[in-house]
Structures are given as structure tokens and as C-alpha cells.
Structure 1
């Protein structure tokens, strides 16, 4: 079963649990993909029959080993393309997601390997998400969501969600860039000793090293 739609489903299921433990349900999957729940139910059944997901009616959708491998291959494509667009074509980090969604289905494996080599085999994309290597191995760093970090916690910005371009721009303006060291305060965060307000919604879109 090979189709861009199937790849998008598997990639979305993987990404949902990459930074938190709650499994994805068909209704949440429908919301993330912007697709009618009935269509999601039908595709999940097809993916289950093909051996890519496990699912019981009204329950969570989880990847099988085969599904995880295919999802990681798509995640690798997406994140390498995002990195390529930023480093080679001067895209900003809030512009690359939609472009990568299109290109990830079009580039050949050969071209993707050349892009990876040209970039120096990067481990992380512009948003801090880990890029699976050519063997689909992913490097993880212990993390804490900014919303859950206690006052006084100091850590580097590890990852920023790319879901909302407007929020990405606000996070950029606040100086919460990937790699920046911040200390959680009562009113927001301190960056290089300067107190900064955290944009609304950003505490659930920014992850710090634990």
C-alpha cells in the first residue's frame, strides 16, 4: 500500500507521540489531518489490513514495526527538506512546513541522499526535531515542556512546534530560538539575564532540555 495519503497518516501518528505519551485516536487524527472522521476510519482500516497500524474500534491508533519504519522514512524526508530550504534557500522556519509537505512526496531517494550529504548529515531540523539517519535511527535528548518546567529551571530550547506559523514568528521575536539557554521565571523566562514575556500559547509549543 503506497500512497502519499497513507504516508501522511503514518507520519502524523508518529509525530503525535514523539513529544508526549498519549496515543492518538481516530478523532484526533482527523483533526490533525483536516479530514472527515469517516474518511479517517476507512483509511485506518486499510492501514491495519496492510500491517502498518494496530487499531480497535473507538480506540487508539498505534504503529506496528513496519508502520514505524515507514513513518520514520517520511519524517526523515520532511525534516531534511525543511533544513535544506532554510540553509540553502534562506527560508525562515515559519515558511518551510507547507513546502516540505509537498516536496517530501516528489524527491527521489537519490536526491534526498545527496541533500543529506550536502548539508553534512544534520541531526536536527530548524525547529529542533530530530532527523532520523539513513538507518532510520533517531537521537533523543531528555526534555520538558515549557508549561511543565518549574520556576528556576534552566535549559536550552530543544524544540519548537511548527504547527502554527504565526506563533513561530512570535516565539522568534521573543528570542526563544532553538539552542538558546533560558531560565523559567515567575513572569516568563530569562534569556541572557533579560526577562522576556512568553507569547500566548508558546508554553505548550516550546520544549527545553530536562
Structure 2
């Protein structure tokens, strides 16, 4: 499997996410917004990725990731999420502190290191934010989950992931006492603005906005 530069891996990972797992085309402007750069810079990178046959790019028609590109993107995502598990479980990082460190570590080019890291962590299936970790073959174990905002009054479930993994949102989660693995029950939903009241672990009541509730994913029970 070919090696990409760190910048190329970052772009490929962004294209994979924007394409919903390689299921649709992505525009240059969307990539520029995601990478916080100018469309002209994106075009130059797309040319390089096209030459390496990890994307197909036609001007005005958007970008499609190739099967080889998808495989490489999932490899980078796998490394990132395994490093996040390591940082939280073994080095006692908080879950809002790991993203930037993992962004650096994900570019280490050593398949053997990642195999041994996976084994050392006892083959985790999900990262600290609840996102699935692709296995060494690129397979991803998905599980049905819905935003808390879509649950009905008196429905119960377990928080399994967050859609927003920004440090600010994760610190908010810590502040209100909502965490991955917490049991929740919908106590009330406000018709006016969609805000919700939830009961956490059968002991703590929390009010949250619809925006917050839509970024917390749960498995119903």
C-alpha cells in the first residue's frame, strides 16, 4: 500500500468524511471549507491525489474517492482513533484533549506498531467519543443510534457517542455530567424550541437545548 504525506492523508480523510463514506461526490468548495483553506490550494492537492489514483476529480463535477483512497482514509482514521483510546486509557488524557495529539500520531507509517497498539488495547471497537474504529481490513462495526433530540418522552437509552467532538462541546458534556455509557431517560420536551429534560443514571436531571441534544447519540433500550 502506498504512503501518502501527512497533508495528503488529511485531505483524503476529509474527502472520505464529506462523501459519507465514499457514497457521494464532494465539491472543491466543501473541501476548502473543511480544510480551512482556499479553493486554489485545494485544486493543487486534488491534482496530486488524482495522480496517485486515490481520487477521481473532474472540474465542475466534484471529487469521488477511489476504492484505494477509501482504504487509505480508513487506515488513517483507524490509527487516529486507536491513538485516542491509548491517550485516554493509558496516559490519562481527558477526552477533550486527545484530538490534536492523535492528529499528529495518526501519520506514523508503521503497520506493525498499529497492530501491536491494537492488541495492547485489547482490540477496542470504539474510540473515547463513541466513533467506531475500523479493523485492520477497513471494516467498520456500526450500531444503530439516534440523537437524544429524536427520542420521545419516557424513552430510555444509553449514550454511546457524540456527533460534535470539539473540545468546547466535550467540556460542556463533562460540566453537566453527561458521558459515554451514561443511562438516560427523556423526562420532557419543550414544544417551543425543542429543548429537552433528561434524567442521567436515574439520579440527575439535566436541561439542554435542541442543538446540544442533537449532538448526543444514544442506543434506545
TM above 0.5? yes
Partner of 1:195: 205
2: distance between equivalents of 1:30 and 1:113?
A: 33
Partner of 1:85: 87
Q: CA RMSD in A?
A: 2.5
Aligned residues: 209
Q: CA deviation at 1:18?
A: 5.1
Larger radius of gyration: 2
Unaligned runs of 5+ in 1: none
Unaligned runs of 5+ in 2: 190-195
Normalising by structure 1, we get a TM-score of 0.86
Partner of 2:139: 137
Aligned to 2:208, the other structure's residue is in SS state: coil
Q: CA deviation at 1:17?
A: 5.1
2: distance between equivalents of 1:45 and 1:204?
A: 37
Could you list the structure 1 runs, at least 4 aligned residues long, displaced by more than 6 angstroms after superposition: none
Partner of 2:217: 207
2: distance between equivalents of 1:168 and 1:150?
A: 24
Q: Which moved more, 1:36-45 or 1:126-135?
A: 36-45
The answer to whether the 8 Å contact 2:96/2:165 transfers is: no
Partner of 2:193: none
2: distance between equivalents of 1:148 and 1:106?
A: 39
Residues 18 and 195 (structure 1 numbering): CA distance in 2 closer, same or farther, change over 3 Å?
Answer: farther
2: distance between equivalents of 1:163 and 1:59?
A: 31
2: distance between equivalents of 1:60 and 1:130?
A: 27
2: distance between equivalents of 1:157 and 1:23?
A: 31
Residues 14 and 90 (structure 1 numbering): CA distance in 2 closer, same or farther, change over 3 Å?
Answer: same
Q: CA deviation at 1:16?
A: 3.6
CA offsets per residue over residues 160-203 of structure 1, 9 Å max, x none? 14542011110122222112222333133222333212268423
Aligned to 2:90, the other structure's residue is in SS state: helix
Residues 67 and 191 (structure 1 numbering): CA distance in 2 closer, same or farther, change over 3 Å?
Answer: same
Question: Which of 59, 70, 77 pairs up with 1:75?
Answer: 77
Q: CA deviation at 1:31?
A: 1.9
CA offsets per residue over residues 23-52 of structure 1, 9 Å max, x none? 643222222222222111221233234221
Q: Which moved more, 1:77-86 or 1:3-12?
A: 3-12
The answer to whether the 8 Å contact 2:159/2:181 transfers is: yes
